[in-house]
Structure 1
Amino acid sequence: MNQTQTIKKNTRVELYDWIRVIATIFVVIGHAAYLKIVTANGGINYILPSQLSPTYNGFLLSSFRFLAIWVYTFHMPLFFFLSGAVLGLKPIGQLFSFIKSKTHRLIIPYLLVALFFMFPIKYLGNFYTYSGLSKAIISFFTGFGGSDEGHLWFLIALFWCLIIFVCITKILDKLHSNHPIIILFICIIVSQFSIRYITFSFLQISTSLYYIQWLALGYLFESCRRRYTIPYSYSILISIFIILIYLLAYRIISPHYNISIIAGIIFSIALSVVLSPLFQLIKNKYSMHYNNFIKRLFDIYLFHDPLEYIIIRIFLNKNLLSTSIGCYAYLFMRTIGIILLSIMIGNIIEYVLKRISSHFSKTKKLITDIN
């Protein structure tokens, strides 16, 4: 089976759906182990109970925490890589239309989810005091007083990277030099320049542009994917090799950040191909649930992280980690439970929006008929 050539609706590549699934699971795992996070206006710093169950430091939970530390080194660059690959599937079109599309897709959720979900839920999760919450909201909308974008920083960072990236490609188009390798080289320069010389932090532009190099790498990958396939046997060997390397030399590789990211991206692509028969099986047998899950991947990203603080607060304040069952339930809720809750929230919001849209459509039709 040629996994990399399975295309739907002309431009949809199933390989990228599979990578999105893995990347989303990785980001949930990466956010599912922390007990301490400190920001300019809030944070948590939970201490494990003295009567902690041995299960918490047993093989399963310890292995999971190691996995969380590993995927955290590359899970966000992986999203930028994937965004670049998807961007390369079809012509970009006019710049104004592109900016309008990405504003609707990224900036509106960035603002609405922050104001109506992230800040209230994190407040309930003891992340903010009342005064800290007000300061965090002010800094969120002004860009001053500390960074309080939380996990939503990715949306604004991706927005900046996409806009600058498209501007670069448009300029190179006019110069007839728009080869993906040239674009990647320029984006690496932009990335390094932003780290060293861009000091203003309004809407995180100074830190956002670091990731443009990974977006450009994904764009280059898509141009190569069209010409080459990824053999299934090679994907298995690559996945096993990278896992073994990390198990044997994790302390050596981890400090080398870019190497860790590239290895993680390669691993994610290979793992997507390895798991492709499973994805196809689930799709064929449970098509409706599979399609809904793919549809809700963005919702999982939007809603999962604030829910983590609620889970931590409940389990630590109620001393539920003193038993083995409590430890297993804690692991379940911070991973699968969070995913299910995020999907449920996404479905509810979609249902409510459809009802509101339907109501306005009926009202508009009624007014038209009267007139």
Structure 2
Amino acid sequence: MTFVKRQSARRQDIITIRALAIFLVMLGQSIIIYSSGWDLYSTTQTSWVLDHLKNTINMVQMPLFFSVSGFCLVFTLNSKHGLSVIDKSKRLLIPFFTVGLLWMLPIRLLVRYQGYVGKSLWHIILIDIIMGKDNGHLWFLPTLMIIFLILIGVKKWVAIFKWPDWSFDLLSAFLAISVLITVNIFPEVDSIPYIGQLCRNFIYFYIGYFWHCHEEQIRPVKSVAGKISIGLLLFSLCILSWIGMPVPSCFLAVFSMLMVVCVYELIPNWSCKPVQIVSANSMGLYLFHSPLLYISFTLWPDISPYLMLTVNLVGWGLCAFAVTELLRRFRMGFVLGEFCSRTL
């Protein structure tokens, strides 16, 4: 998640949405060992509830995370520096390399992570981490960087040919839809590191951007009855994910888009102190939480599912928060991609 200068008090809804996004990511990661679609670690415990909860979270966690980044792109474009390759590289790639090599890698080696057993250190660093074959949650950062590089190229193209401003929106939408269609027609693209994630998530980034640019015109619901209808739609989509019916990936993408739009429509322009704290530390929580889970999955795979959930979400979540705060206190905010005061 990127940080930009803005008057955050005017948009408390985005602070709340970002806090919700990181909470869902952490919750989903905490219970992934009970997901029927994840077999990296085995456990004697099963949980039908947590398995289906994970399926629901999968439909919205990263789409929501990407959409907030797209929403914040508008602030970047309106800033005096604009959309800069150097700025985005510092904010995304420095955390990627630092956390990947100095946090995730040592933890995985310490617990003898199965995906790295039998591989040389250089293979792990170059192929698994940097090239994205097996770098866990860190795939988000290079993928987001690629999206920004694409949009910077589009922006320069529009400037060179002196096209109207709306052409940037149109070209970005065309690219987002095109890559999504491509990955559904050619599923093998999905297995290419970063490219597959880019194809599947570009559309959510664009939804956040488009919503910010045009929300006054596209907000379809203002009445209480309309809000209730949107809430029922979101609830129905969650129920569909619990049923577990086989659904083509293209329909899952549509469901995810609807869920993201529902969240943006339903979240009020309000937040509270705990929500603001979680939102302000979302990058640190994202970076440091996930690798700690491998300790639980390695040492205590067979404990009660709800004890596992508590240890992972609360225990490791507080550890990730503490590491984030320590880095700031020691003036190492660059590890979090922070190079100026955070306001959103």
Q: TM-score, normalised by structure 1?
A: 0.72
Aligned letter for 1:153?
Answer: W
Cα distance, 1:109–1:205 mapped onto 2, change above 3 Å: same
Are the counterparts in 2 of residues 123 and 133 from structure 1 also a CA contact under 8 Å?
no
Q: 1:203 deviation in Å?
A: 6.9
Q: How far off its partner does 1:347 sit? A: 1.0
Partner residue, 2:95 = 109
User: Which residue is equivalent to 2:322?
Assistant: 344
Distance 2:129 2:112 in 1: 21
2:21 to 23, 27, 34: 23
Q: Which residue of 1 aligns with 2:65?
A: 79
Instruction: Give the structure 2 partner of residue 35 of structure 1.
Output: 33
Alignment of 1:86-165 (within 5 A): 86-89=72-75, 91=77, 98-128=84-114, 129=116, 131-132=118-119, 134=121, 135-140=123-128, 143=131, 147-165=133-151
Residue number among 239, 251, 254 corresponding to 1:259 in the alignment: 254
- For 1:171 and 1:67, the matched residues in 2 are separated by 43
1:252 to 1:350, Cα distance in 2 relative to 1, 3 A: same
State the alpha-carbon separation in 2 of the partners of residues 69 and 200 from structure 1: 19
- Alignment match, 1:175: 163
Contact in 1 for aligned 2:30/2:312 (Cα 8 Å): yes
Aligned-residue offset at 1:265: 0.8
In 2: Cα distance, 1:44 partner to 1:194 partner: 25
Deviations 1:160-186 (A, max 9, x none): 001102321332342225253453124
1:131 counterpart SS class = coil
**Whole-Å Cα distance in 1 between the matches of residues 204 and 65 of structure 2?**
9
Counterpart of 1:46, as a letter, is S
Cα pair distance change 1:93/1:209, threshold 3 Å:
farther
> Residues 172 and 354 from structure 1, CA distance in 2 versus in 1: closer, same or farther, beyond 3 angstroms?
closer
Q: Tell me the distance in 2 between the aligned counterparts of 1:115 and 1:166.
A: 28
Percent identity at matched positions? 20
Deviations 1:14-64 (A, max 9, x none): 221111111111111222222289xxxxx833131xxx5xxx64xxxx433
Distance 1:297 1:349 in 2: 14
C-alpha distance in structure 1 between counterparts of 2:43 and 2:97, whole Å: 32
Larger radius of gyration: 1
Maintained 8 Å contact 2:76/2:83: no
Cα distance between partner residues in 2 of 1:125 and 1:298: 24
Distance (whole Å) between structure 1 residues aligned to residue 222 and residue 252 of structure 2: 28
Residue deviations 1:259-303 (CA, integer Å, cap 9, x gap): 221122123324533xx55x3xx33xxxxx554332211111111
Equivalent pairs counted in the alignment come to: 316
Amino acid at match of 1:224: H
CA contact (8 A) 2:183 2:190 kept: no
Q: 1 CA distance for matches of 2:124 and 2:191?
A: 15
**Paired residues of 1:19 and 1:272 also in contact (CA < 8 A):** yes
Quote the residue 1:185 is aligned against: 174
In the alignment, is residue 313 of structure 1 matched against residue 301 of structure 2?
A: no
Match of 2:204 in 1: 214
Shift in Å, 1:141: 5.8
Relative to 1, partners in 2 of residues 1:159 and 1:82: Cα closer, same or farther, differing over 3 Å?
same
The amino acid that maps onto 1:292 is I
Q: Partner residue of 1:4?
A: none
* Matching of residue 45 in structure 1 with residue 30 in structure 2: no
Confirm or deny: 8 A CA contact 1:32 1:68 kept in the other structure.
Answer: no
Q: Deviations over 1:283-336 (max 9, x none)?
A: 3xxxxx5543322111111111111111222322xx533xxxxx4321212223
8 Å contact kept, 1:110–1:156:
yes
**70-79 vs 221-230, which moves further:** 221-230
Residue 198 of structure 1: CA displacement?
10
Could you tell me which amino acid in structure 2 is paired with residue 231 of structure 1? K
Question: Are residues 213 and 95 of structure 1, via their aligned partners in 2, closer, same or farther at CA, if it must alter by over 3 Å?
Answer: farther
1:112 positional shift: 0.4
Flag as ranges the 4+ runs of structure 1 deviating above 4 A: 92-97, 190-203, 226-230
Q: Secondary structure in 1 aligned to 2:40?
A: strand
Contact 1:30–1:71, Cα closer than 8 Å, also in 2: yes
**Root mean square deviation of aligned Cα:** 3.6
Rate the CA distance shift 1:115–1:164 in 2: closer, same or farther, 3 A: same
Counterpart residue type for residue 332 of structure 1: T
Tell me the residue number matched to 2:339. Answer: none
Per-residue CA deviations over 1:230-281 (Å, capped at 9, x if unaligned) read 63733343123321343257445843221221122123324533xx55x3xx
SS at match of 1:30: helix
Aligned to 2:235: 243
The one-letter code sitting in structure 1 at the alignment partner of 2:321 is: I
Looking at structure 1, the residues matched to 66 and 190 of structure 2 have their Cα atoms a distance apart, in angstroms, of: 22
Deviations 1:118-137 (A, max 9, x none): 11112233324553362322
Counterpart of 1:238, as a letter, is I
1:136/1:92 CA distance change after superposition, 3 Å: farther
Consecutive unaligned residues in structure 1, runs of 5 or more: 1-6, 38-42, 284-288, 322-326, 356-371
Amino acid corresponding to residue 169 of structure 2 in structure 1 = P
Match of 2:286 among 301, 310, 330: 301
In 2: Cα distance, 1:311 partner to 1:86 partner? 34
Task: State the Cα deviation string for residues 144-200 of structure 1 (Å, max 9, x = none).
Answer: xx7022110000000000110232133234222525345312432255457859979
